[in-house]
Amino acid sequence: MWSTRHLYDYIHKVIRIPIVFDYHHHRFCTGGQTEGEAVQLAASTWHGIKPVVHLSESRRAEQKDEKIRVQAHSDYVYKPVDNYGVEYDMMLECKKKELGLLRYRAILKMEEEVNGSEEKAHC
């Protein structure tokens, strides 16, 4: 698995392709960067185009089953993420597809009502 830093140094600098930041993958391969640093670095590669990020969570954690690979995607996404001030388009990578999107939007709406803020990423 490649970190955002490695993608930047070895791919983006050579062929100038934008980097899609992946919140789930970053948890396993940080490349020495914080999540915020990695989001900012990936966003910087889009050069005037709205960046894209991927969001998923661990199926192992969701199902509470240690036999499942930790990298496997869950049915739903349960936790809002910080966008670190970057406006981007988010692709949810969850098994339940549109149902996952509807549930995540409801979670974000509840988060906004509780915190009175839109600081977290939203769909």
Q: Is the pTM of this model over 0.75?
A: yes
Question: Domain locations in the chain?
Answer: 4-115
Identify the architecture of domain 4-115 in CATH: Alpha-Beta Barrel (3.20)
Question: pLDDT tens digits, residue range 33-72?
Answer: 999 999 999 999 999 999 999 999 999 999 999 999 989 9
Question: pLDDT tens digits, residue range 69-103?
Answer: 989 999 999 999 999 999 999 999 999 999 999 99
Q: With contact defined as beta carbons under 8 Å apart, do 93 and 54 qualify?
A: yes
Can you spell out the DSSP letters for 35-74? HHHHHHHHHTTSTTS--EEEE--BHHHHHT-TTS-TTSBP
